[in-house]
Structure 1
Amino acid sequence: MARTAAKAAPWSASPEPARASSGPLRVLAHEDTAELQRLVARDPIANIYLAAHLEQHGTAAPVILGTQILGYDDGGLRAACWVGANVIPAGVDEATAPAFGEYLAASGRRHASIYGSAAAVLGIFAEMERRGVPAKEVRANQPLLAISSEPLIEPDRRLRPSRMSEFDQILPAAVAMFEEEVGYSPYSGGEEFYRRRVASLIRNGHSLSSLDECGEVIFKADLGVLSRQASQVQGVWLRPEDRGRGLSAGYMAAVVQLARKQAPVVSLYVNDYNARARASYERVGFEQIGSYATVLF
């Protein structure tokens, strides 16, 4: 489905995180790390982004310029949200979502998206929308899938970790994937930032691809988030002229095999209306374990 280019949000952007309002919300600090780890561990696959962050940095305190982890604390840490270019909730429920939505609406910051567990995302956005923050698109039902065993079908052995020497071939495929999925160019947030992101995935062995004899990308996928327990596959893309030929399932089976060398569970989320992709993932052995939602701004 064609999508229009993203329009600038009517509220102002800010490189600095806003302060938490009074009440149960506060910016988490290093001393909150153990409590945040316990919260994230309740659902380590759905909360994989924060799980990976904690494993990498070992702290709930802000470590990246312009980002913070916001906690809902009413005598104990009940819920949290990563707040940066994207907003990613953990443990947010019907009772705590409005507080996060109020904070985000009042902060004056522009975020690219909110994504994560559907009830949390939709609850937060409902409050933001009530306070006048519009969305470009709401994807309310994105099945969260996972597999913790070998794939059910034979993997396509042509898939392998991408090489830095292939960066100039991988980058256009990554851009095409992003534009198809989100509806605007990833360069809108800065070309150099996105180039570094793609290069980092390749350098760390988290970009997987298959190239033809002319060096053109046929298929690509990324291990976009990786913790000790799970990976989250992102950026799945098959060259348009190869679609409809039954190739994607074999490639996804290969993604599972390669990803499980780094973490035992492989997860991803998919738009509910993407019947072809869902059928392919089911053939490979993915099963639904939850529901995500994404709000694009």
Structure 2
Amino acid sequence: MLKLAGARLLTEREGLAVRSALVADPVVSCMVAARVESVGLDPWRLGGELWGVGSRLGGLCFSGVNLIPLRGGRAASRAFAERALSQPRHCSSLVGPADQVLEMWQQLEPGWGPARDVRPNQPLLAMSAPPSVAPDPLVRQVRLDDLERYLPAAV
């Protein structure tokens, strides 16, 4: 059995591996992947840190305004929680796949205190085919000039 070392800060040296890991699950990683694509892995520009576990990035987590486990099992979740507990808290929420988030939260709650809200069933939806119904003609895609009004409502 492979023993995982603690979570480590990832740098541009591991950029190719990070990008490959993000592409492996584009729906779950879309928020982080978009930032990495536009600014790279530098924490200051990224708005947070990317942490990795394992030599082949079996575990990947973003730590910024949100703590987002992107891949990894129980051992990776524990390693990420240990790293988060070892420094001042920066995030307001944990988001991502429920199994990883809930595993991390079990480790974090004793140090961070009780959650304001736990949503164990909040699916992330994506379409893989055209819609089966006609779109509402009064609904349109968001444009860049809509973002200032749209973003607060979406968050």
Partners of 2:132 and 2:15 in 1: how far apart?
Answer: 39
1:243-287 per-residue CA deviation (whole Å, 9 max, x = no partner) reads xxxxxxxxxxxxxxxxxxxxxxxxxxxxxxxxxxxxxxxxxxxxx
Instruction: Structure 2: give runs of 5+ residues left out of the alignment.
Output: none
One-letter code of the match for 2:43?
P
For the pair 1:69 / 2:50, whether they are aligned, the reply is: yes
Q: Does structure 1 residue 50 correspond to structure 2 residue 32? A: yes
Q: TM-score, normalised by structure 2?
A: 0.81
8 Å Cα contact 2:7-2:76 kept in structure 1: no
Q: State whether structure 2 residue 19 is matched by structure 1 residue 37.
A: yes
SS in 2 for 1:71: strand
Change in Cα spacing, 1:142 to 1:65, as seen in structure 2 (3 Å) is closer
State the identity %: 29
State the distance in 2 between where 1:24 and 1:106 align. Answer: 11
**Residues 217-232 of structure 1: pairs in structure 2 closer than 5 A:** none
Q: 1: CA distance between counterparts of 2:80 and 2:26?
A: 21
SS in 2 for 1:154: coil
The answer (yes or no) to whether the contact 1:28–1:69 under 8 Å persists in 2 is yes
Structure 1, unpaired ranges of 5+: 1-22, 168-197, 208-221, 225-233, 237-297
- The reply on whether 1:154 has 2:134 as its aligned counterpart is yes
CA-based RMSD of the aligned residues comes to 2.6
Give 1 or 2 for the bigger CA radius of gyration.
1
What displacement does 1:68 show? Answer: 1.3
Looking at structure 1, the residues matched to 53 and 19 of structure 2 have their Cα atoms a distance apart, in angstroms, of: 14
Greater strand proportion: 1
Match of 1:88 among 68, 71, 89: 68
* Equivalent residue, structure 2, for 1:139: 119
Shift in Å, 1:49: 1.7
Q: Which has the higher contact order (CA 8 A, sep 6+)?
A: 1
Matches of 2:22 and 2:46 in 1, distance apart? 22
Partner of 2:85: 105
- Cα distance in structure 2, aligned partners of 1:106 and 1:63: 19
Corresponding pairs, count: 150
- Letter paired with 2:79: A
Distance 1:151 1:43 in 2: 22
Return the structure number with greater helix share. 2
1:162 Cα deviation (Å)?
A: 5.5
Aligned partners of 1:105 and 1:133 also within 8 Å: no
Residues 65, 97 of structure 1: alpha-carbon distance in 2 compared, 3 angstrom cutoff: closer
Aligned equivalents of 1:162, 1:103: Cα separation in 2: 38
8 Å Cα contact 2:36-2:46 kept in structure 1: no
SS in 2 for 1:145: coil
Provide the TM-score with structure 1 as the length reference. Answer: 0.45
- 2:32–2:62 CA contact under 8 A, matched in 1: yes
Alpha carbons 1:85, 1:113 under 8 Å: kept: yes
Alpha-carbon displacement from aligned partner over 1:192-220 (angstroms, at most 9, x marks no partner): xxxxxx42xx7xxxx5xxxxxxxxxxxxx
Cα distance in 2 for partners of 1:99, 1:70 equals: 10
2:69–2:96 Cα contact (<8 Å) kept: yes
In structure 1, C-alpha distance between the alignment counterparts of 2:25 and 2:144, rounded to whole Å: 33
| 2:106 partner SS | helix
